[in-house]
Amino acid sequence: MPIPSLCRAALLFLALPALAAGDLALKADVSPGWDIDPLSPPVTFRITGDGLLEGEGPDRGILAGIKRWQIQVFNFDEEKVDFIQGLGSPDSDRFHWDGVTRSGAILRDGFYTARLAWVDAVGSLRKTKPVQVSLFLPRGLRDFLGAHVRCVYDDDGVVIRVAEALTFAPGRWRLRPQALPVLDNIAVFLCEHPAWRLAVQGHADATGRGETNLRVSSDRARAVYQYLAGRGVGRERMTYEGLGAAQPIADNSTEAGRAQNRRVDIVVRRGA
């Protein structure tokens, strides 16, 4: 008799080799597949102390001794399919994961395993035991997420972050043709939730004159705002503004960082 897929997943998880636990442990909070909140992250990884009670965070002294770290996600063939990483001590003990890999590929809904690997203060490689992770994306997200469109979650909702590389030519504010199908799908997603409030924000890097950056970022925000309105998203629940280079998310001293800073954010909040 064939083994059901869920049973196979559980058996594969149990068969994974146990890893030596260090002073830290990794846990995963997931959205249940039958009750997904589109404004909540599908998965939140939490770094905690190994053996601590639920709700207790990691010892900051332990985190302070980390030289570099990586949260690694594996499929059930034990292939690493994605990761979150950083240098030095993590600036948080919580990290959201939306199932979109660093290359922009969208992983299938289903079961994965994850672990935290880090190099400690004396240069030793440490790893936590693996945890099982279930990934279920809300309906509609798969239609527009990818290499140039990501969701960034916070306590108040989500930011749909759209990179300049998809939407605009350098220094311009007319939407590129390749951006239109993506914005169409974002509009469909937003129209399914008419109570949400939306703020479209244009952002620039730190090169050029401040007043020029402010003007271009404002024109870009208005272009996205007008396009969404033309696809049925109510103007009465949207605002737009240009913020120039005032809110960078990456290092403006590198080209890669500047490319990340040139973006349009669609800030989504629950209605009153």
> Residue 262 maps to which CATH number?
3.30.1330.60
Residues 10 and 111 in one domain: yes
Among 91, 113, 135, where does a domain finish? 135
Q: How many domains does the chain have?
A: 2
Residues 157 and 262 in one domain: yes
**Could you report the per-residue pLDDT of 11-67, keeping only the tens digit for each?**
333 333 333 335 789 999 987 766 688 999 999 999 988 655 555 566 666 777 899
Residues 70 and 170 in one domain: no
| Alpha carbons 189 and 201: distance in angstroms, whole number | 18
The closest of 235, 52, 228, 257 to 144, measured between CA atoms, is 228
Residues 102 and 147 in one domain: no
Measured in residues, the chain has a length of 272
Q: Which domain holds residue 237?
A: 141-269
Among 103, 135, 167, where does a domain finish? 135
Model pTM?
0.85
What was the pLDDT predicted at 58?
64
Among 135, 163, 195, where does a domain finish? 135
What was the pLDDT predicted at 35?
67
Q: 208 pLDDT band (50/70/90 cuts)? A: confident
Residues 130 and 152 in one domain: no
**Could you report the per-residue pLDDT of 105-118, keeping only the tens digit for each?**
999 999 999 999 99
Residues 113 and 148 in one domain: no
Residues 191 and 130 in one domain: no
Residues 177 and 241 in one domain: yes
The residues, ordered by sequence, that sit 6+ positions from 126 with a Cβ below 8 Å of its Cβ are 20, 22, 23, 24, 117, 118, 119, 120
